[in-house]
Chains A and B, each alone.
Chain A
Amino acid sequence: MKAWKVLLIDDEEDFVMTLAERLQIRGLCPVTATDGEAGLDLIMNESFDAVILDVMMPGLSGLEVLEHIKNFKSQIPVIMLTGHGRSEDGPRGMQLGAFDYLIKPFDIDELIQKIGEAATRR
């Protein structure tokens, strides 16, 4: 598998750091941000194969961050993370141009599969 460079944006630091470590073990190159503003700074200054973005965050919400990405770096695929299956957030994210979404907690193999699909379809 290619060492996809992915940006993880989630305000739950324990979650994002642990997920990053697991992705690294699987050969990916994860970069982390714990709020939308920090995530957007990284997106503007570095290149990523995919962005993993939590919907509900303090400050800029995931959907707001997604809109910024689509306005300024529209080629980067975004995979949204939502809390609930029945939530409108996932479908709303898709309408705004997200590649796909996953419901927390998810299986890491499913996430990696989506990252691969997203990165190769750019």
Chain B
Amino acid sequence: MTQIKQTEIAFFGRITAGVTHELKNVLAIVNESSGLMQDLMALSKETPAYHDRFKKALTSIRGQVQRGQSLIAKLNQFAHAPDIAVRSFDLSEAAGLVVALSQRFAALKNVTLKVVPPLPSDQTVQATLNLVQFQMALFSAIECWLSLAVSGNELNITLSRKEKTCSILLACEGNFPAGTDPAGGLAATEKWPLLQRITATLEGTVEIDRLKPGILLILPIKPLIGAPAE
């Protein structure tokens, strides 16, 4: 990635991270204000009109605050990705973040998207890569699948490690319209050339697994930054 591109991405990240902090303050005020309304209702000696409806609405507000809090935390984490161009990170955690932030796109197509099975903490896959490029590669692969997937499909992402590489398989399960060839269609999707380019930049490969059917990303696991070269 060129220096100017890196600077541009860092700029977007910095602004986004700053705004997420402000949004946290917004949520904190909504949280306290709705909490105060609940407190005042509890203190009221008489049952006010629409008491149950108010209670239900306040419960909904608090639930949405928690939802917003979770999304903002993830967005903030995402916004900090360009802080350091190449870094050592946990692939499973990074994949989980991309999947979490892609849920809206999957939901629009009524497709279930998940990382399966979540790797146990003692089996984490650490890699030293450009985190933004890794996120872009994974998101592009998800987009390839989402452009072909139909309602009810399940897009499952599996990570595994083999010595100096890691494999990320995006397999789509469920029924496809009769006569279609999902594996064959992947290479014709709009995002496929982009996925190939980013994977090459990461010094990895991308191929189509016709049996699953799935997209298989193979990326190098370089030595951790600061760790002695193997």
Contacts and interface: CB of A to CB of B under 8 A. Distances in A.
Nearest to B30: A105
Interface of B: 20-21, 24-25, 27-33, 35-36, 39-40, 43, 65, 69, 73, 76-77, 80
Interface string A15-42: 1001101100100000000000000000
B28 A105 contact: yes
A15 B77 CA distance: 24
Interface stretch (A65-73, A78-86, A92-100, A113-121): A78-86
A83 B25 contact: yes
Contacts of B25: 12, 15, 83, 104
A108 B43 CA distance: 16
- Chain A interface size band reads 10 to 19
Contact of B65 (A14, A85, A86, A105): A105
A56 B30 CA distance: 19
Q: Is the interface of B mostly helix, strand, loop or mixed?
A: helix
Given A86-B77, A105-B27, A105-B69, 4 more contacts: A22-B32, A56-B21, A105-B28, A106-B31
A25 B43 contact: yes
B76 A84 contact: yes
Nearest to A86: B77
Interface of A: 12, 14-15, 18-19, 21-22, 25, 56, 83-86, 104-106, 108
A18 B32 contact: yes
B33 A18 contact: yes
Contact of A15 (B28, B40, B69, B76): B28
B17 to A, nearest CB: 9
B55 to A, nearest CB: 17
A104 B39 contact: no
Given A18-B33, A105-B65, A84 B24 contact: yes
Contacts of B40: 25
Contacts of A104: 24-25, 27-28
A83 B29 CA distance: 13
A12 B28 contact: yes
Given A22-B39, A25-B39, A25-B43, A84 B28 contact: no
Contacts of A19: 32
Contact of B24 (A21, A22, A83, A86): A83
9 contacts: A12-B29, A18-B36, A22-B35, A56-B21, A83-B20, A83-B25, A105-B65, A108-B32, A108-B35
A15 B40 CA distance: 17
Contact of A14 (B20, B21, B29, B43): B29
Among A14, A18, A56, residue most surrounded by chain B Cβ atoms (within 10 Å):
A18
Contact of B76 (A18, A25, A86, A105): A86
Contacts of A25: 39-40, 43
A18 B39 CA distance: 11
Nearest to B32: A18
A58 to B, nearest CB: 13
Nearest to A25: B39
B90 to A, nearest CB: 13
